[in-house]
Amino acid sequence: MKLRTIKYFFRESFTSLIRNRWMSLASIGAVASALIILGSFLLLSVNFDYILKDVESQVEITAYLEDSVDEADITKLNNGIAAIEGVKEIKFISKEEAIEEFKEQVGREILEGIENPLPNSFRIKVNDPHEVAAIAEKIQRFAGIDEVKYGKGIVEKLFNIIHWVRIIGMVIMAVFAAVSIFIISNTIRLTVFARRREINIMKYIGATDWFVRWPFLIEGMVLGLIGSSLAIGILAVAYNYLYIAVKINIPMIALLPIEQFYDYALGFLGIGMLIGAFGSSFSIKRFLNV
């Protein structure tokens, strides 16, 4: 394709963007709103993921020991559990340490004079939270292990929630992408309609189908691009506020750092452009018959 032709395509698309400026603005606004909603869900699900990863990594297994287990067996058990595939960290907590910890939490005075009822235990961290249940079962099989706890149910529930958040997010994204495509396709349809004379003449003169198509495709992509840039800008400002507000008010929740937000921005521009291209090719196909 000649440079001159490319220039022609851009000139045509920008002329028509400006000529139909109200429609262009309306569709940029519509695309931006759609993408802002889409982006909010994206951020929500990404953050949900991020927070859950954080929670997941804190899921640990506690294995309580029978009172009969002696010093030497404890060392053997320690080595045995540490050797299980997927175990990241194991820490021995003696009866005494456990009661000290408990006293910290509850208050010393209440427990004065009572014999220590707590058993010795191991605290185990695993590499992949998905394997918690399987590893817990393996630990249970060791002789001398009385009981294994790992927040059973909570882990499964968390995974379930992540799963659904992803599916719902995906569905909503698809819906809004479709809405954006529809809006852009309508705008381009108006442009095509406004320029039907010109298109008609072009075809009589001997323009190829692609020569006719390109300016509309570019127009759609530019609309999508401007719309998504706008959405990114607004989301970035809003997210920045949210990030700071959460950090100050709810410090235990760690939102995705703002810098990582920009990694998504590029993908967003891409989505915007794709939506624009889809929208216009839709109109071109249906209303141009080229």
Partner 1 sequence: MLIEMYGVTKIYPGGQVALKDINLKISKGEFVFIVGPSGAGKSTLIKLIFREEVPTRGQIFFAGKNISRLKRREVPYLRRRIGIVFQDFRLLPEKTVYENVAFAMEVVEASYKDIKRKVPQTLERVGLLHKANARPSELSGGEQQRVALARALVNNPDILVADEPTGNLDPDTSWDIMNYLDDINKRGTTIIVATHARELVDSMKKRVIQLEKGSLVRDEERGVYGK
Q: Which residues of 43-78 are buried (b: 16+ CB within 10 A; e: fewer)?
A: bebbbbbbbbeeebeeebbbbbbeeebeeebbeebe
Note whether 139 and 124 are within 8 A (CB). yes
User: What is the size of the binding site for partner 1 (CB under 8 A)?
Assistant: 17
Question: Taking contact as CB under 8 A, which single stretch among the options 43-51, 131-139, 201-209, 236-244 is the one that binds partner 1?
Answer: 201-209
Mark residues 6-45: x for contact with partner 1 by CB under 8 A, - for none: --x-------------------------------------
Does residue 205 belong to the site contacting partner 1 (CB under 8 A)? yes
Does residue 74 belong to the site contacting partner 1 (CB under 8 A)? no
∠9-14-18 over CA atoms, to 5°? 150
Does residue 198 belong to the site contacting partner 1 (CB under 8 A)? yes
What does DSSP assign to residue 110? G
Beta carbon of residue 276, minimum distance to partner 1 (angstroms, whole number): 24
Q: What sign for the dihedral angle of Cα 110, 113, 119, 123?
A: positive
Does residue 73 belong to the site contacting partner 1 (CB under 8 A)? no
φ, ψ of residue 277 to 5 degrees: the values are -65, -45
Beta carbon of residue 203, minimum distance to partner 1 (angstroms, whole number): 8
In terms of CB distance, is 181 or 199 closer to partner 1?
Answer: 199
Q: Which residues bind partner 1 (CB under 8 A)?
A: 2, 4-5, 8, 197-198, 200-209, 211
